[in-house]
A and B are shown apart, each in its own frame.
Chain A
Amino acid sequence: MSETHPPPGKPGISRRQFLTGTGLGAAATTLLQTSEARTQASKVQAPKTVGFGPNAVACELVVNGARISVQIEPRVTLLDCLRHYMDITGPKRVCDRGTCGACTVLLDGRPIYACTMLALEAQGKKIETPESLYQDGQLHRVPAAFAQYDAQQCGFCTPGFVMAMKGCFDRNPNATPDEVEQCLAGNICRCGTYQQMRDALRSLCKKGG
């Protein structure tokens, strides 16, 4: 638990304020995920919940395994938090309306649109961005296949497609080309590099993800 929530004493949604505000102080160290806290919560009649904002509040996120804490207003989306506050610019801001897929990140392993989620809503979840695909001088096999098959042109959509495809293979290493294409149905490439992406994903399917 402790790794997924801000440490006590910080402004914003700290553990201390969180517990006090929800009348769950007695539940102490366990916060909301334990059955004890759940039972407590259901017994409390309309407990007073503390609000956060509209001024900037502390927000700690777990991005690519690292805990990063920033001060943001509640309205800041996960995408803007990553790009503007954490300097993690792999996810791209293209439509900003949950339509194009360029901002795709994995949240607890599932592809989501970072532009259409508040950063505060991603607290306590594991966030993976394209930056996680290059480690120890080694490029992950999905972006490597994109490079090999020249599956990009302007490149703005590419990080989103790569994350959606990685999420697909993570869930099902034996996905067929059709299944992988279904997983890419929430992403758009305006340059039209679909054929090269097909070549890339077929090469990955042959290798069993």
Chain B
Amino acid sequence: MKNFTYYRPLSLEAAVALLDNRWGTTELLAGGTDLLDLQKEYIAQPDKVVSLTFIQDPVFTRIEVPQILPGTKPTVSIGAAVKIADIAEHAELKNLFPALTDAAAQVGGPQIRNMGTLGGNLCQRNRCWYFRDEHVLCLLKGGRRCFASDGENRYHAIFTKGHPCVIVHPSTLAPALIALGASVEVVGPSGKRTIELNKFFQAPTKPDQREHVLAPNEIVVRVLIPVEGLRNASYEVRHKQSYDWPLAQAAVAFRLSGGKATNVRIVLGHVAPIPHVATEAQKVVEGQTITRELAEQAGEAATVGAAPLSQNAYKVHLVKVAVKRALLLASGAQPDWAI
């Protein structure tokens, strides 16, 4: 690991003041589960590391669930520094947003969840093994080509949309939060701004881009989730029960009134460079009663536009399964698969 100067600001403003306006020279340190790995592999070689661990601002460090009264439109606030374990175990969040807490409970292993934070989960770098290999100069490190597009790509994107870098976005919390209509509050040199989470991510193609749209001197403060009484669920298809990223994930949310699903949102994870909104699948479910057949049709529709690479056509089937099961879970159906 290249050595660096370590900073320990006590407020978000002080942290922002330490950040450069270009990527690479300064890194933010929260849980460290991603940054330290990147530094050990010399993928990240910052001169300055700005620790967010000692900032005590409750907006940044706490989960706030307001009183939920009929006729009001409350918003849940989860600070960016909240540990993933604390999201997974939060009783009120479990009740309101099982899509989020189930996804959180499956992140990494117990130690990772005790260390990793919500903000870090949203801002983590991608897991492409070419990107993570110090000796490979891929597009994101200033090279001329993506080695995964025709190389070892079994864990890469199937919705590439002609994108030259075929990573999948690594966050499993992001699809759940997008389905729930969440937004992100960030702070930078000119103050705070709020970004809808479905506009927060971008597909990077060069070294001066990250997997999100933040400026290099901005920090995620918190995530805001409207309480809209939506049924919601997340389903991950995995190789292993723990310590792995899913192969495919579907997060769904919808309002159930009179047995019909409306305001349907279906978001796929681990199949595209950013969380992928399955608009065709949403259309299939909108206004309908969710049955096993309808959930299967939605799964089929979710694969519209899929263009698998040489090794990952299997993910097309996994998307169908994940969407079907997430819809059935959210509708309250008894699972007929092993969990």
Stretch binding the partner chain, chosen from B4-12, B177-185, B196-204, B327-335: B4-12
Q: A96-B40, A97-B40, A98-B33 are in contact. Are A46 and B14 (CB under 8 A)?
A: yes
Asked if B109 is at the interface of the complex by the 8 Å CB criterion, the answer is: yes
Contact A112-B115, Cβ < 8 Å, known A33-B56, A74-B49: yes
Give the distance to chain B from A32, nearest Cβ to Cβ, in Å. Answer: 5
List of B residues within 8 angstroms of A177 by Cβ: none
Asked, given contacts A32-B56, A120-B51, whether A185 binds B109 with beta carbons under 8 Å apart, the answer is yes
A-B contacts at CB below 8 angstroms, number: 141
User: Can you name the residue of chain B whose Cβ is closest to the Cβ of A77?
Assistant: B36
Please give the distance in Å from B309's CB to the nearest CB on chain A.
26
Whether, in the assembled complex, A121 has its beta carbon less than 8 Å from a beta carbon of chain B, the answer is yes
Neighbour of B7 across the interface among A37, A49, A104, A188, CB < 8 A: A49
In the assembled complex, B37 has its CB within 8 A of some CB on chain A: yes
Cβ contact of B36, chosen from A41, A98, A188, cutoff 8 A? A98
User: Which residues between 4 and 53 of chain B lie within 8 Å of chain A, taking CB atoms?
Assistant: 4-11, 13-18, 29, 32-33, 36-37, 39-40, 48-49, 51, 53
Q: How many residues of chain A get a CB closer than 8 Å to chain B's CBs?
A: 50
Q: B48-72: contact bitstring with A at CB < 8 Å (1 yes, 0 no)?
A: 1101011011000000000000000
Contact of B6 among A53, A97, A104, A185 (CB under 8 A): A53
Residues of B within 8 Å of A, CB-based: how many?
42
| Contact assessment for A49 and B243 in the assembled complex, using a CB-CB cutoff below 8 Å | no
B195 an interface residue at 8 Å Cβ cutoff? no
Q: How many Å lie between the Cα of A182 and that of B14 in the bound state?
A: 39
Q: Which B residues, 223 to 265, have Cβ-Cβ distances below 8 Å to chain A?
A: 241-243
Which residues from chain B contact A111 at a C-beta distance below 8 Å?
A: 110-111, 114
B18 near A185: Cβ-Cβ < 8 Å: no
**A138 at interface by CB-CB < 8 Å:** no
Contact B9 A49, beta carbon cutoff 8 Å: yes
Question: Is the beta-carbon distance between A183 and B110 smaller than 8 angstroms?
Answer: yes
Q: Which of A32-91 contact B (CB under 8 A)?
A: 32-33, 37-38, 41-42, 44-54, 57, 73-75, 77
What chain A residues lie within 8 Å of B53 (beta carbons)? 121
B32/A121 in contact, CB under 8 A: yes
A186–B85 CB distance below 8 A: no
Contact status A44-B11, CB under 8 Å: yes
The answer to whether the Cβ of A144 comes within 8 Å of any Cβ in the partner chain is no
Q: Which residues of B contact A51 (CB under 8 A)?
A: 5-7, 48
- Classify the secondary structure of B's interface with A: mixed
Q: How far is the CA of A187 from the CA of B54 in the complex (A)?
A: 28
- B36 contacts A116, CB within 8 Å? yes
Check if A185 sits within 8 Å of B241, measured CB to CB.
yes
Q: Is A29 an interface residue when CB atoms closer than 8 A count as contact?
A: no
Q: When chains A and B are docked, how far (Å) is the Cα of A15 from the Cα of B104?
A: 36
| Contact indicator B111/A101 (Cβ below 8 Å) | yes
B57 near A32 with CB under 8 A, answer no
Q: Are A74 and B4 in contact (CB under 8 A)?
A: yes
Assess the B114–A110 pair: CB atoms within 8 A. Answer: yes
Known: A54-B4, A111-B110. A116 touches B37 (CB 8 A): yes
- List A contacts of B95 (CB < 8 A): none
- Decide yes or no whether A145 CB sits under 8 A from chain B: no
B164 close to A (CB within 8 Å): no
Contacts of B313 in A (CB 8 A): none
Residues of A within 8 A of B112 (CB): 98, 113, 186
| Bound CA–CA A54/B46 (angstroms) | 11
Chain B residues, Cβ within 8 Å of A200: none
**Given A110-B85, A186-B112, A188-B243, 15 further pairs, Cβ under 8 A:** A24-B10, A32-B10, A41-B57, A42-B57, A47-B9, A48-B17, A49-B14, A49-B15, A51-B48, A53-B4, A74-B5, A75-B39, A110-B114, A112-B114, A185-B110
The 7 A-B pairs with the shortest beta carbon distances in the complex, nearest first, are A186-B109, A185-B242, A74-B6, A46-B17, A51-B5, A54-B3, A186-B111
Q: Which residues of A contact B (CB under 8 A)?
A: 13, 18, 22, 24, 32-33, 37-38, 41-42, 44-54, 57, 73-75, 77, 96-99, 101, 104, 107, 110-113, 115-118, 120-121, 164, 182-183, 185-188
12 A–B contacts from the bound complex (CB under 8 Å) = A41-B56, A47-B17, A48-B14, A49-B10, A49-B14, A49-B15, A52-B5, A74-B5, A110-B114, A113-B33, A113-B111, A164-B110
